[in-house]
Chains A and B, each alone.
Chain A
Amino acid sequence: MRDILDKRVLFVMGKGGVGRSTVAAALGLAAARRGLRTVVVEVAGQHRLAGAFGSDDGEVLAERPIEERLYAISVDPEHAIAEYLSLQVRPRQMGELLASSRMFHYFAAAAPGLSELVTIGKIWELAQLERRTRGGSRYDLVVVDAPATGHGMAMIRTPRQFADIARIGPIAHQARTIDAFVSNRKKTGVVAVALPQEMPVNETLQLRDELATSGLRIDRVVANACYPERFTARDVQALRAAAADGHGPLARSAMRAAISEQARAREQRAQLRRLREGFGQKAAKLPFVFAPELDRTALKALSRELEEAL
């Protein structure tokens, strides 16, 4: 775990529905417990973290504390653009005028990737030891709950693309700075989240290849929602025999559920093997949580498991 906590930014990436937000929150909790001042960043209109910590009063556009040493922020492109301009343009009133002008909105709509750029720019800003925003304090680690695979990759690639488009001028210069930071593996890490199922594993392997084209590598793989291995193949034989014996419908349902569980666990092992072969390291396993909701207590328990598994 220590090596990934030495980075300045960790992107938590993966396919939709695999539990990126949960893993990002668990990572944040684990880092904070280890004494790192940590901020978890949600993007693209997500506000799940505050909800999970029972402080869901809408958008969290400014950093705010959710646990000791742990902060959350939701980065909204429009807000980030306005903040960028107010920092960038002097006098400040001129920046505000620009941000509110229709002209600028046309520009923002027309310049490809601008909202991805300011989003990743804000992430970069949060990771700076000397913060640019007024009153911004320093973080040891920024954990990013990145958008799902395709859009997540687009976000990471944006700075370089933007630098290539703009070529010269302040935006190009800043895009280059951000790109250098993001592609510096000492500073930026990637944690990939997968479910131990065929499709999510396929996408994780694909993500590995796509990241490589941007000079990045997946530092750790987390296999989320792993079923417990309750039954052996011999158990299943016994269950099948018993089911043929003629029990009541309830007992038969229960046995059937057990047989399904074993089939699932077997498939899961095969997928974990694929991950290990694809990455040359074992995936960190997180258990399936049999609960209606993941609340603060459950998240903390998961973060301890993650800390141990990493």
Chain B
Amino acid sequence: MNIADVIADKRIVICGGSGGVGKTTTSAAIAMGAAARGWKVAVVTIDPAKRLANSLGLQELGNEPALVDPELFPPAGIEMEGELWAMMLDPKRTFDDLIDRLAPNEKARDEVLANRIYQELSNAVAGSQEFTAMAKLYDLDRDHDFDLIVLDTPPSRNALDFLDAPDRLTQFFEGRALQVFLRPTGLAARVMGRGTGMVFGVLKRVTGIDLLQDLAVFFRSLSGMIDGFKERAQAVNKLLADPGTVFLLVTSPEREPIDEAIFFWRKLKAARMPFGGVVVNRVHHDLLGDAEVEDVSAELADDLGDKLAARVADNFRDYHVLARRDAQNIERLGKQLRDDRLLLIPYLDEDVHDVEGLVRLDRYLFATEEERQAMLDEVVA
């Protein structure tokens, strides 16, 4: 597997996986690699932490893509033939922009933006990130002329939220719920079943009348935009299933992230989303093979002295435990997925958090199988 092949005929790459597996850096490295090869690329992160900004040496990423300074790359050993753009999603601003677009008039827009329920919804609530990411992806695809958009996603615990976001939002704004809140004893309530009025009464008692009234106002002020939301959700769904879109899973070789990757893959499959392969970061490769650790200390004792040779051997033994664990987990992953599109990145000497690091990662991502093997041999020998 080779990233160049995965993205060859794609417009959108979505990177999913659990937290702490190097998803943001992998997204950035893919985007940088494509840009270096002459594409105009945007990388979008919706991670609440400013990791991507860190990776690219930027202080702040706005809610619109900004061109990453091409001068950053040659010192790190990479020539930028295309353009790398980066942005960090601001969910609140994206939501506000969406309301601005969909509102039938200024009055309706201001009413929604000023509503306290809306403010909380757009600001803090889990799920709004996922939804706004999809909305932004759609806008970027439609309004800009990027050859490729790479989207970094929140951890895969929210994978469902992420894939379902457009549908859920449609349901959320669906007319029926709205009608109930607006007229709890009206026709819609009767459609909802008998006892709704009573239930509403209890709900009022539990939540307090203010909250219900605010919800009613919220729904009323949104009512003119519901069709717009629905259309938008449908368009996003179409975009996700588009042949120009591909999902890449990113994981590390520990048990839990591998479980998450399998989980995510199943969800993708169930949702019929296009799957491009798995990038497994930080793999400890088996360097020992059939040999014994003791052979190492024996060979090195003369040169290094017994003590240092023994420590080198101890360290090597520990490394090998991790190599065996990684191999088992990766095998399980391959079996579960019945797919050999796994791209293994070795455990690099240093963590990737700067352009040099991205360049190192990039070399592995865009290498052919043979080249990667050659690099690996070089590293281990």
Contacts and interface: CB of A to CB of B under 8 A. Distances in A.
A230 B311 contact: yes
Given A154-B126, A161-B124, A250-B291, A172 B304 contact: no
Interface string A108-125: 011111011000000000
A290 B353 contact: no
Interface stretch (A11-19, A55-63, A178-186): A11-19
Given A111-B215, A250-B291, A16 B314 contact: no
A177 interface: no
Contact of A260 (B126, B314, B325, B349): B349
Contact of B319 (A17, A169, A257): A257
Contact of B299 (A101, A157, A251): A251
A66 to B, nearest CB: 19
Contact of B210 (A151, A169, A249): A169
Given A15-B20, A154-B126, A172 B49 contact: no
Given A106-B180, A255-B300, A112 B124 contact: yes
B322 interface: yes
Contacts of B218: 110
Contacts of A78: none
Interface residues of A, number: 80
Contacts of B200: 103
B206 A170 contact: yes
A258 B208 contact: no
A97 to B, nearest CB: 7
A245 B303 CA distance: 9
Contacts of B114: none
Interface string B306-328: 00100111111011011011001
Contact of A256 (B177, B328, B350, B380): B380
Contacts of A250: 287-289, 291, 295-296, 299
Given A171-B211, A254-B312, A165 B54 contact: no
A253 B381 CA distance: 5
A310 to B, nearest CB: 23
Given A161-B124, A252-B381, A254-B312, A242 B287 contact: no
A197 interface: yes
B307 to A, nearest CB: 10
Given A17-B257, A110-B172, A161-B124, A89 B210 contact: no
A251 B319 CA distance: 14
A252 B299 CA distance: 10
A130 interface: no
B20 A85 contact: no
A257 B316 contact: yes
Interface string B52-88: 0010000000000000000000000000000000000
B206 A17 contact: no
Contacts of A16: 18-20, 155
Given A89-B202, A89-B206, A250-B287, A102 B192 contact: yes
Contacts, number: 224
B318 to A, nearest CB: 4
A264 interface: yes
Contacts of B271: none
A15 B195 contact: no
B373 to A, nearest CB: 15
Chain B facing A: main interface SS: helix
The interface centre, meaning the residue of A103, A109, A198, A290 with most chain B CB atoms within 10 A of its CB, is A103
Given A16-B18, A230-B311, A98 B172 contact: no
Interface in A72-94: 85, 88-89, 94
Question: Number of contact residues on B: which range applies?
Answer: 35 or more
B106 interface: no
Given A103-B200, A255-B312, A202 B54 contact: yes
Contacts of B206: 85, 88-89, 98, 169-171
B214 A292 contact: no
A148 B126 CA distance: 12
B196 A254 contact: no
Contacts of B380: 249, 253, 256
Interface in A194-244: 197-200, 202-203, 206, 230-231, 235, 238-239, 242
Contacts of B186: none
A135 B299 CA distance: 65
Given A250-B287, A255-B312, A165 B172 contact: no
A248 B292 CA distance: 13
Nearest to B318: A290
7 contacts: A110-B218, A166-B210, A171-B206, A172-B210, A235-B311, A257-B316, A290-B322
Interface of B: 18-21, 47-51, 54, 116-117, 120-121, 124-126, 129, 154-155, 157, 168, 171-172, 177, 180-181, 192-193, 195-196, 199-200, 202-203, 205-211, 214-215, 218-219, 252, 255-257, 287-289, 291, 293, 295-296, 299-300, 303-304, 308, 311-316, 318-319, 321-322, 324-325, 328, 347, 349-351, 353, 379-381
Q: Which 4 A-B pairs have the closest CB atoms?
A: A16-B19, A169-B208, A17-B20, A150-B48
Given A97-B195, A150-B49, A291-B325, 18 more contacts: A17-B18, A102-B192, A107-B215, A109-B168, A112-B124, A113-B120, A113-B125, A116-B126, A161-B120, A165-B120, A198-B351, A230-B311, A231-B311, A235-B311, A250-B299, A254-B315, A256-B380, A257-B312
